[in-house]
Amino acid sequence: MVARNQNLVSITWGSSVKFSIVRFFVSLVLAVFLVAAVYMAREYVSFNYMLMVPLDVTFSGQSECDLFSGKWVFDNESYPLYKEKECKFMSDQLACNKFGRQDLGFQHWRWQPHHCDIPRFNATKLLEKLRNKRMVFVGDSLNRGQWVSMVCLLDSSIHDPNLKIMNNSGSNLISFKALGYNATVEFYWEPLLVESNSDDPVNHKLPERIVRSQSIEKHARVWTDADILVFNSYLWWREPHIKVLWGSFKDENGIYKEVEMRRSYEMALKTWSDWLEIHVDRAKTRLFFISMSPVHEKAEEWGASKDQNCYSETDMITTEGYRSNETNLDMTRIVENTIDELKTRGLKVDLINITQLSEYRKEGHPSIYRKQWVALSEEQLSNPSSYADCIHWCLPGVPDVWNELLYAYIFQQ
Ligand SMILES: *[C@@H]1O[C@H](CO)[C@@H](O)[C@H](O)[C@H]1NC(C)=O
Ligand SMILES: *[C@@H]1O[C@H](CO)[C@@H](O)[C@H](O)[C@H]1NC(C)=O
Ligand SMILES: *[C@@H]1O[C@H](CO)[C@@H](O)[C@H](O)[C@H]1NC(C)=O
Ligand SMILES: *[C@@H]1O[C@H](CO)[C@@H](O)[C@H](O)[C@H]1NC(C)=O
Ligand SMILES: *[C@@H]1O[C@H](CO)[C@@H](O)[C@H](O)[C@H]1NC(C)=O
Ligand SMILES: *[C@@H]1O[C@H](CO)[C@@H](O)[C@H](O)[C@H]1NC(C)=O
């Protein structure tokens, strides 16, 4: 069969060679025309796609691509980006596997923006960028979680134990240093950004929250000269009212006043932005603000039973655009307004919008799988959801992706 067909082909060739040459040229012209047309159409249609990067290069600007709008894709080839047990600097608050969590599916998800790719996280490349520099995460325990994630991401590429050091002297500042690069990556505890009665890095759980909305210098002097600053502040504001203090904590003449939360948040961010405007070296320092990290404390919001929370959840929420009604968008608006205002004064702060992508991840929290600092009562033990942590995030996990987004911005010039 095959041989006969070949014969047929060669006969056709032989008998109509001239005709074939003409046809060949006609086809060639047609083909050239077609290719050009397809090429031009492609260029027109997928102009945006062509700007969008191969994996290791930076993406091209927010206007072409919203990195924060996308979906989670299962990827157990590349994720997790490091192993929980292998990160020497892992926190017991976030080491879920170490504290008994067996379902580890939450570690295998990649964030896929709808219209482009996130550049691949390359720890060596980031360390080179941070050579002789200082990067400081400033904020609350969620920002601390992101910092631990960043340290683990970097740590995984530094194999010599003598080339990395952690200094936790019990002050507000914890410091990781990659000695081979003289690169410092720090966390500074300052949960309300301005001074407050929750500033002690260990003993900060007080019944009543008091902020000095006008005062930031005590903290800010420690981090102002950093090369990269990553702020957050949200969780500690989740009260209808906050007590604001004019004067110092020691001052007998201090004036206290209950202020509606949104207003006090606005005042605090104003103080923060005024400080940045006047003290930050624009030629040197890059500024980032991490948006609200959502909580999963009310299971009825995603259709599970009323008295439950994130405890025993093993899957994420798949409803596109799902949002807990605990997520206070008014606060995001205040952050945005503050940042926009700063821009008019010539200072750029990039908002890393992690809220929506994290909303889906009800299964990403430590729940009961973390170190308990105080012994649990019989009653608690009989009802695990009563002590489940549905606020912080297991590592490796969701905050690694926040850092991938931060990484994308750091390399975007
Ligand atoms: C954050 O990203 C989500 C998803 O793209 C979007 O709906 C939301 O408006 C963004 N928020 C801000 C403050 O940019
Ligand atoms: C990834 O998951 C698939 C499906 O669950 C499984 O067959 C495969 O062995 C996994 N690969 C790795 C590297 O874990
Ligand atoms: C990571 O970055 C380093 C330094 O820029 C480079 O030499 C290396 O090839 C990169 N690794 C990958 C996997 O792209
Ligand atoms: C090491 O890094 C710090 C910033 O963290 C910088 O001030 C110092 O000059 C660097 N040292 C050298 C020798 O470059
Ligand atoms: C650790 O930090 C403390 C206070 O921030 C400082 O006094 C001390 O010198 C640091 N130790 C090392 C080994 O860098
Ligand atoms: C929040 O969601 C719950 C459950 O869906 C609902 O019952 C409640 O009214 C909502 N609260 C607000 C303030 O929207």
Ligand 4 atom at shortest distance from the alpha carbon of 132:
2
Q: Give the per-residue pLDDT at 205.
A: 82
- Judgement on whether residues 123 and 244 belong to the same structural domain of the protein: yes
Ligand 4 atom at shortest distance from the alpha carbon of 134:
5
Question: In angstroms, what CA-CA distances link 263 with 48, 190, 216, 237, 260?
Answer: 41, 19, 17, 11, 6
Q: Give the per-residue pLDDT at 206.
A: 83
Task: Decide: helix, strand or coil at residue 173.
Answer: strand
What are the backbone dihedrals phi and psi of residue 291, each rounded to the nearest 5 degrees, phi first?
-70, 180
Torsion of CA 257, 262, 265, 266, to 10 degrees: -100
Structure tokens at 376: 């649990």
* Pairwise CA distance, residues 128 & 108, whole Å: 27
Protein residue with its CA nearest to atom 8 in ligand 4 = 132
- Judgement on whether residues 88 and 189 belong to the same structural domain of the protein: yes
Provide the domain limits for residue 32. Answer: 2-44
307 in contact with ligand 1, CB cutoff 6 A: no
Answer yes or no: is 406 within a domain. yes
**Which H or E element spans position 210?**
strand 210-212
- Judgement on whether residues 263 and 295 belong to the same structural domain of the protein: yes
Taking each continuous run of H as one helix and of E as one strand, the counts in the chain are 12, 13
User: How far is the centre of ligand 2, averaged over its atoms, from the C-alpha of 76 (Å)?
Assistant: 6
User: How far is the centre of ligand 1, averaged over its atoms, from the C-alpha of 405 (Å)?
Assistant: 14
Q: What is the pTM of this model?
A: 0.86
Protein residue with its CA nearest to atom 1 in ligand 6 = 325
- Judgement on whether residues 10 and 148 belong to the same structural domain of the protein: no
- Judgement on whether residues 195 and 265 belong to the same structural domain of the protein: yes
336 in contact with ligand 1, CB cutoff 6 A: yes
Answer yes or no: is 50 within a domain. no
Set 141, 149, 196, 213: catalytic member: 141
Answer yes or no: is 49 within a domain. no
User: How far is the centre of ligand 1, averaged over its atoms, from the C-alpha of 358 (Å)?
Assistant: 12
Q: Give the per-residue pLDDT at 207.
A: 84
User: How far is the centre of ligand 5, averaged over its atoms, from the C-alpha of 164 (Å)?
Assistant: 14
The neighbour count for residue 71, using CB atoms within 10 Å, is: 14
User: How far is the centre of ligand 1, averaged over its atoms, from the C-alpha of 67 (Å)?
Assistant: 10
* Pairwise CA distance, residues 25 & 19, whole Å: 10
Question: In angstroms, what CA-CA distances link 259 with 140, 208, 243, 245, 267?
Answer: 21, 13, 6, 10, 10
Q: Is 10 a catalytic residue?
A: no
User: How far is the centre of ligand 3, averaged over its atoms, from the C-alpha of 122 (Å)?
Assistant: 6
Protein residue with its CA nearest to atom 8 in ligand 2 = 76
Protein residue with its CA nearest to atom 12 in ligand 2 = 76
**Nearest alpha carbon to residue 223 among 177, 293, 174:** 174
- Judgement on whether residues 199 and 236 belong to the same structural domain of the protein: yes
262 in contact with ligand 3, CB cutoff 6 A: no
180 in contact with ligand 4, CB cutoff 6 A: no
Are 109 and 137 in contact by the 8 Å Cβ rule? The answer is: no
122 in contact with ligand 3, CB cutoff 6 A: yes
Q: Give the per-residue pLDDT at 93.
A: 95
Split into its structural domains, the chain has a count of: 2
- Judgement on whether residues 20 and 126 belong to the same structural domain of the protein: no
Q: Is 392 a catalytic residue?
A: yes
Task: Please report which ligand is nearest the Cα atom of 71.
Answer: 1
Q: Is 389 a catalytic residue?
A: yes
Q: Give the per-residue pLDDT at 325.
A: 92
Digit-by-digit pLDDT tens for the chain (413 residues) are: 333 444 333 333 334 444 454 455 555 555 554 444 444 444 333 333 333 333 433 454 445 789 999 999 999 999 999 999 999 999 999 999 999 999 999 999 999 999 999 999 999 999 999 999 999 999 999 999 999 999 999 999 999 999 999 999 999 999 999 999 999 999 999 999 999 999 999 888 888 899 999 999 999 999 999 999 999 999 999 999 999 999 998 888 899 999 999 999 999 999 999 999 999 999 999 999 999 999 999 999 999 999 999 999 999 999 999 999 999 999 999 999 999 999 999 999 999 999 999 999 999 999 999 999 889 999 999 999 999 999 999 999 999 999 999 999 999 86
- Judgement on whether residues 381 and 285 belong to the same structural domain of the protein: yes
- Judgement on whether residues 200 and 139 belong to the same structural domain of the protein: yes
Taken in order 147, 153, 154, 156, the sign of the CA dihedral is positive
Answer yes or no: is 372 within a domain. yes
Answer yes or no: is 54 within a domain. no
Protein residue with its CA nearest to atom 11 in ligand 1 = 353
Answer yes or no: is 276 within a domain. yes
56 in contact with ligand 3, CB cutoff 6 A: yes
Question: 114-150: buried (b, 16+ CB within 10 Å) or exposed (e) per residue?
Answer: eebbbbebebebbbebbeebbbbbbbbbbbbbbbbbb
CATH code of the domain covering residue 324: 3.40.50.1110
Answer yes or no: is 53 within a domain. no
Structure tokens at 218: 């005590």
- Judgement on whether residues 387 and 354 belong to the same structural domain of the protein: yes
Answer yes or no: is 56 within a domain. no
326 in contact with ligand 6, CB cutoff 6 A: no
| Degrees to nearest 5, angle at CA 258 with 254 and 264 | 95
- Judgement on whether residues 112 and 193 belong to the same structural domain of the protein: yes
134 in contact with ligand 4, CB cutoff 6 A: yes
- Judgement on whether residues 94 and 193 belong to the same structural domain of the protein: yes
